[in-house]
Amino acid sequence: MRFKQSYLTAKEEDVTIITSPVGLPGRALNNEFIASVRNGLTKPFKCIFSLREQLPAGKKRPTA
């Protein structure tokens, strides 16, 4: 519930732009985790899938 409440009570200055795990920009609320990543104390999650890679025409993405 605290997670949802933090979004509901957030002000414009509480929101920051980050790089998402797939390399795209995203919005996040400033918090201890964001601060530790920016200070180099924590490594952010990296997506192991190449989601932005396009497959050649006619090819289907393999399923697990």
Residue 15, domain member (yes or no): yes
Characterize the bridge pairing of strands 15-19 and 25-29: antiparallel
Helices and strands: H and E segment counts in the chain = 2, 2
Q: Are 26 and 18 in contact (CB under 8 A)?
A: yes
Looking at the structure of the chain, the number of domains it has is 1
The model's pLDDT over 1-60, given as tens digits with 9 standing for 90+, comes to 788 998 899 999 999 998 887 778 999 999 998 999 889 888 777 666 665 555 566 666
Specify the 3-state DSSP secondary structure of 21. coil
Does residue 45 sit within a domain?
no
Q: Which residue has the higher pLDDT, 64 or 15?
A: 15
Handedness of CA 23, 27, 3, 39 (dihedral sign): positive
Q: Is residue 63 part of a domain?
A: no
Q: Tell me how crowded residue 17 is: count the other CB atoms within 10 A of its CB.
A: 8
Cut 0.95: pTM above it: no
